[in-house]
Amino acid sequence: MPSYENVRYEVDGFIATVTVAREKALNALNRHTLNEIAWALGEADGDARVRCVILTGAGEKAFVAGADISEMVEQGATEARGFARAGRAVGDVLENMAKPVIAAVNGFALGGGCELALACDFIYASDKARFGQPEVNLGVIPGFGGTQRLPRRIGAGRAMELVLTGDLIGADEALRIGLVNKVFPAAELMTEARKCADKIASKGPLAISYARRAVRKGAELSLSAGNDLEAELFALLFATSDQKEGMRAFLAKRSANFEGK
């Protein structure tokens, strides 16, 4: 198991929790932290025990307050390109995992923090959460996928407004525009995220993985090609033990015992 400096990785039952843990820096993302997040997510994806992942930030103030400006300020174009690629790599890991990831946003999710949450499958937020892409205030633009994932989630017009103004929005506004799925009182956020993760973990793991793939990959395809992908993944599940168990359990009016096989 890797040794982490800026990330906590914990497994409880079927659920892995990855916590960005640079609380004194409001969990800001430097290169090392980005690498550790990618490693922890990879560890969760390869852990046979894990069926769902929760990604959150340490402390009460921030999920991730952004990229670490102290590391960025003196970068030239070559270093900045490498830093952007490190951020993109985390998003790529999140998108290509077999297991779903819930972002539990407990405070500031700004810049790279908002981009990290956007790469997750969906977002639960504390009522104290704040979201934004304020990079233009620093003379730059989002570099970890914000200009691409934000419009895909909330539409081009709203995304353009947030990116060009650099404005921050609260949890209720984020819910209204579809950036987050649900908002909870701060003290209840992790309980509610865990409750959802437990529900997902109770379903067929292969079905969850294939459903996730169909939605994510299908979004990049034409409707016809997306339907072809869905039909193929649907058919492949009929070669699994989980499909037989799930349907036999339904007919027998009992709970299914899925094994991911």
Residue 178 Cα distances to 107, 120, 171, 251, angstroms: 18, 14, 10, 37
Q: What is the CA radius of gyration of the chain?
A: 19
Cβ atoms of 206 and 240 closer than 8 Å: yes
Give the tokens for residue 17: 């929790």
Distance CA 22, CA 207 (A): 35
Q: Active site residue: 5, 23, 60, 135, which one?
A: 135
220 is catalytic: no
135 is catalytic: yes
Q: DSSP letter string over 187-229? A: GGHHHHHHHHHHHHHTS-HHHHHHHHHHHHHHTTS-HHHHHHH
Distance CA 208, CA 160 (A): 32
Q: Active site residue: 115, 161, 220, 230, which one?
A: 115
Q: Can you tell me whether residue 130 is helix, strand or coil?
A: strand
Residues taking part in catalysis: 115, 135
